[in-house]
Structure 1
Amino acid sequence: MCRWLAYTGSPVVLTAVLYTPVHSLIDQSLHAKLGAETTNGDGFGIGWYDERPTPGVFRSTEPAWNDANLREVASHVASPLFFAHVRAAIGSAVQQTNCHPFRHDRRLWMHNGFIDGYARVKRELAMAVDPALYPQIAGQTDSEILFYLALTFGLETDPVGAVARAVGLVEATGRAHGVAFPFQGTIATSDGASLWAFRYSSEGRTRSMFLTRDIPTLREMYPDREILHAASDDARMVVSEPIGDLPGAWLEVPESTVAVVSRGREELRPFTPTGANTR
């Protein structure tokens, strides 16, 4: 599996989130505690929003803990909303096009998990992608196919509904091929203004996902922590596993839930896959 992090709030330099905290995402690339693997060294990626029309993306097949270019870029980029992902490959090649996050126009996407039985179902899933979008698929992963299925089903206008239809198609196709539990994963996607984070698996035993408590509450809990006074009230993070050393700072997102974070507010909603009309 992989580890990922999504931040939204006032602009911060990426280093402050990716490297500085105890058990940071970079530390998790070597020493993950809650993942299926301890080491996530099969590449990394960051994606960030700024004043430009589309988000920036930097991806590499190098291990995140050992990449001087990542540290250099992260120390110079400040962003109000960014993604970061460290990869543990399952079945697909270690190559740049397979690293997360994936990008389409203003949309970023990353995933921790898998489509079970992917070799048996990938042709049918690929055929369900909008023909106008299909040529943009550059890699081999089930995560990227899932992204383009969600785009096909309306991700840009109805993120929750589109992901529900994409996962629903994965489950229906997998079960038709005898796969008991076709989908496993946590997903983050954004349009640069809001963040949607999904936790769902067909088996009901999904990889971990956590959301920070609101900053005013954390300041009351830890009045002496300068970093909390520097953070904006609307700052939020969603992560695969907690970073930092503040007990009680993280809330585990329940199974079968989507967290919607926008302008300093978060809402947890039940998430259930639905039927998808394919071409």
Structure 2
Amino acid sequence: MCRWLAYSGSPVLLEDLLYKPEHSLIVQSMHSTMGAEATNGDGFGVGWYGDRETPGLFRSIEPAWNDRNLRDLAAHVSSPRVFAHIRAAIGSPVQQTNCHPFRQGRWLWMHNGFIDGFHAMKRDLALAVDPERYADIEGTTDSEMLFFLALTFGLEDDPPQAVSRAVGLVEETARRHGIGFPIQGTLATTDGETTWAFRYSSEGRSRSLFHSTDVSMLKHQYPENAALHELSDDARMVVSEPLGELRGAWREVPEASCVAIRGGEEELTPFKPLLPAGIR
């Protein structure tokens, strides 16, 4: 599978997110402790928001631990909202267009997991994508297809409902193909203002997902921790696995849930697939 993180808060150097934590995403690319595989070396990607209308994006098929360009970029770019992803491919080619995050306009999207039976369902799912958007699909992954289904079903207006409908379509299509548990994983999307993260699997046994707790509480609890005091009180992260072992810093996102983060506010709601209108 893969590992990812989503950060929002005061601007931070990418280096501080990707390299400096005790169990950083770079460490996880070699030694993941909660993923399906310990090594996630089939490429990586980083998306960040700055002064432009659309987010910046850097993706590579190099292992994250071995990319000198990423190391240099991370030491010079700071951002208030960052998506980062390390990939462990399970079928689709190792190529730049298959690396996460995926971008459309102001939106970023990344996924850890898979669609079981995607090869058999690919044509049916592709035909459900808005024809005006279909030409923008660049890669061959199930994750990007899920992104374009969510865009088709209204991601830009109501992300939780759009993702519910995309997942609902996949499950209904899988049912017609005789596939029992098609969806597995965690995913995140953002428009640069709000981050939505989802944990769901058809089987009810999703990949790991955690969100950070209130930073102001942690600052009070750990007054000598310099790294915490460099963060703004509204700083929040959602991660595939914790970046360290600081007691009380992380809470597990419950199964079949969506967490929405805007500023320092978090909202946790149940997640349930919906069948898109007009599909029986």
Q: Same fold (TM over 0.5)?
A: yes
Partner of 1:102: 102
Listed one character per residue, the Cα deviations across residues 157-204 of structure 1 (whole Å, up to 9, x for unaligned) are: 100000000000000001110111010110100000000000000000
Query: Partners in 2 of 1:200 and 1:249 — Cα distance?
Result: 23
What SS is found at the alignment partner of 1:223? coil
2:194 and 2:40 mapped to 1: Cα distance?
27
Correspondence 1:170-181 to 2 at 5 A = 170-181=170-181
Give SS of 1:133's match: helix
> Deviation string for 1:222-275 (max 9, x for gaps)?
111011111101000000000023122100000000000001110100000001
1:136 aligned partner: 136
Give the letter aligned to residue 61 of structure 1: I
Q: Which amino acid aligns with 2:128?
A: A
Distance in 1, matches of 2:256 and 2:244, equals 26
Please give the secondary structure, in 1, of the residue aligned with 2:178. Answer: coil
Q: 2: distance between equivalents of 1:152 and 1:130? A: 5
Shift of 1:277: 3.1
Quote the offset at 1:40 in angstroms: 0.2
Which amino acid letter does the alignment assign opposite residue 93 of structure 2? A
| Structure 1 vs Structure 2 CA RMSD | 0.9
Q: Contact 1:12/1:78 (CA < 8 Å) preserved in 2? A: yes
In structure 2, give the amino acid aligned to 1:150: A
Contact 1:128–1:278 (CA under 8 A) maintained in structure 2: no
Opposite residue 219 of structure 2, the aligned amino acid is R
In structure 1, stretches of 5+ residues that fail to align are: none
1:16 has 2:16 as partner: yes
Segment drifting more, 135-144 vs 220-229: 220-229
The code of the aligned residue for 1:45 comes to G
1:85-138: per-residue Cα shift (whole Å, max 9, x none)? Answer: 000001100000000000000000000000000111010000000000000000
> Which amino acid in the other structure matches residue 26 of structure 1?
I
Structure 2 CA distance for aligned equivalents of residues 217 and 114 of structure 1: 36
Q: Does 1:245 align with 2:245?
A: yes
Following superposition, the deviation at residue 26 of structure 1 comes to 0.4
> Counterpart in 1 of 2:235?
235
Offset at residue 79 of structure 1 (A): 0.3
Instruction: Tell me the secondary structure at the aligned position of residue 150 of structure 1.
Output: helix
**Structure 1 segments of 4+ aligned residues over 3 angstroms from their partners:** none
Residue 278 of structure 1: how far off its partner (Å): 6.0
User: Percent same amino acid among aligned pairs?
Assistant: 65
Q: Does 1:80 align with 2:80?
A: yes
| Whole-Å separation in 2 of the counterparts to 1:277 and 1:84 | 33
Taking structure 1 as the reference length, the TM-score comes to 0.99
Taking the aligned partners of 2:74 and 2:110, their CA distance within structure 1 comes to 18
Which letter does structure 2 place at the counterpart of 1:14?
L
Stretch moving more, 223-232 or 163-172:
223-232
SS at match of 2:160: helix
Q: Which amino acid aligns with 1:115?
A: I
Q: Equivalent residue for 1:114?
A: 114
Number of the residue aligned with 2:46: 46
What is the TM-score normalised by the length of structure 2? Answer: 0.98
SS in 1 for 2:245: coil
> Residues of 1 paired with 2:247 and 2:39: CA distance?
24
* Structure 1 contact 259–266 (Cα < 8 Å) conserved: yes
Number of matched residues?
279
Partner of 2:29: 29
